Amino acid sequence: MTKIKDIGEQGLLERLQRFCPPEIIGDDAAVLVTAPEQSLVVTTDVLVDGVHFSNMTTSPEDAGWRSAAANLSDLAAMGASPLGITVGLGLPGEVRVSWVERLYQGMTECLQKYNTSIVGGDVVRSPVTTLAITAFGQVHPSQIIRRSAAVVGDAIVVTGVHGASRAGLELLLHPELEQNLKDADRKTLIHAHQRPQPRLDVLPILQKILTPNSCTDAINRVSTPNSQLPIAGMDSSDGLADAIIQICRASGVGAILERRQISIPAAFDHWLTQEQALEYALYGGEDFELVLCLSQESASALVEYLGEGAAIVGKITPGSTVLLHDEQKKFPDQVLSLSQGFQHFNSYEL
């Protein structure tokens, strides 16, 4: 059982090089070719053992996949295609080399699915296993998706179901919950937690739907440099409620959500109460779907393209309140606030 302290930094770096494209190894920094007229998009995440992942619920492969997926999801949320990631690792000497290799295996499995790779990194000694990922991507300036561009009347679209990742985590932490659940459903929910899919696949669909005359005239598909796609959005990594509240704050608008339109996993139906299901969907976090605000017409087209799970869940309103509404009036209107949201830093005692 070889440990990090047995092979040192150089030994570990040599073993990890097989996870990187050979052409980027060996200099002080990695060099990447970017397409002309694209802007660079950069995002970074720090993950700490015991805070953001744990060997109890997460294999090193899954921790790797999830950390890569979270960063790719941030790129997708901006409308950007990935160029690569860098990985900074802090490791206690007692960590097994195989643990690190399995972590990298999980990261590269996720990255390969989206045609990207680890292009650089750093490995250092640390008393606690720490993973710092920076992802960079590129986007044409006209196709940047920002939180601040929602306008009154926009439909709010989710690209998939919410609550699955949180349910999967609960099943891992409390296996006794699986009693009333079909085995296939249990596996699906746990998979949603362990192997979330960043929605980079949504980007070409958005271009198709939002670019004028896209169906009739291929030449017009590329919008002119200064015309901004009529869309706002972000990802739902910190929960669906958080995403909608953040978009509303940044755009200076409010929103009304239709309680029964929020798409949840089919498995929830006979397993959770309506309230519990809604709680997971709104505040569970880490589903890594996109929450997008766009015209009603475009929203309908998008939901149709995306199929199952995608839904129009509400619309943008004047004011600043985010309201949860029940069209069947069984539940009173409820104001959503961030204080119930998913905040890594505050959710643990410091």
Cβ 345 to a second copy shortest distance, Å: 3
Per-residue CA distances from 4 to 7, 19, 50, 212 (Å) = 6, 17, 19, 55
Give the tokens for residue 2: 């070889």
Q: Does 139 bind a second copy (CB under 8 A)?
A: yes
Cβ 334 to a second copy shortest distance, Å: 22
* Three-state DSSP class for residue 226: coil
Q: How far apart are CA 118 and CA 133, in angstroms?
A: 10
Please say which residue, 78 or 313, places its beta carbon nearer to a second copy: 78
Give the tokens for residue 213: 């005359």
Residue 288 CB contacts under 8 Å (≥ 6 apart), including other chains: 69, 70, 73, 165, 196, 197, 198, 199, 235, 236, 237
Binding test (CB under 8 A) with a second copy, winner from 2, 8, 318, 333 = 8
Binding test (CB under 8 A) with a second copy, winner from 61, 74, 101, 170 = 74
Site for a second copy in 77-136 (CB under 8 A): 77-78, 80, 83-84, 86-90, 92-94, 119-128, 130, 132, 134-136
- ∠ CA 322-327-331, nearest 5°, is 75
Q: Which residues belong to the annotated binding site? A: 28, 43-45, 52, 74, 104, 121-122, 147, 235, 237-238, 286, 342
Q: Does 324 bind a second copy (CB under 8 A)?
A: no
* Three-state DSSP class for residue 293: strand
Q: Which residues belong to the annotated binding site for ATP? A: 104, 121-122, 147, 237
Closest CA to 288 of 75, 106, 129, 127: 75
The piece of 162-170, 255-263, 304-312, 341-349 that touches a second copy (CB under 8 A) is: 341-349
Site for a second copy in 242-261 (CB under 8 A): 250
Q: Which residues belong to the annotated binding site for Mg(2+)? A: 28, 43-45, 74, 122, 235, 238
Site for a second copy in 25-64 (CB under 8 A): 26-34, 36-48, 50-52
Give the tokens for residue 302: 């998008």
The piece of 20-28, 222-230, 257-265, 277-285 that touches a second copy (CB under 8 A) is: 20-28
296-306 and 202-210 helices, crossing angle to 10°: 140
Q: How far apart are CA 35 and CA 162, in angstroms?
A: 34
- ∠ CA 290-209-232, nearest 5°, is 40
Cβ 178 to a second copy shortest distance, Å: 30
Q: Does 320 bind a second copy (CB under 8 A)?
A: no
Q: How far apart are CA 173 and CA 63, in angstroms?
A: 16
Please say which residue, 37 or 297, places its beta carbon nearer to a second copy: 37
Please say which residue, 9 or 333, places its beta carbon nearer to a second copy: 9
DSSP string, 142-162: GG--BGGG--TTPEEEESS-S
The piece of 5-13, 207-215, 265-273, 301-309 that touches a second copy (CB under 8 A) is: 5-13
Q: Does 235 bind a second copy (CB under 8 A)?
A: yes
Please say which residue, 175 or 225, places its beta carbon nearer to a second copy: 225
Cβ 122 to a second copy shortest distance, Å: 5
- The one-letter amino acid at 130: T
Cβ 292 to a second copy shortest distance, Å: 13
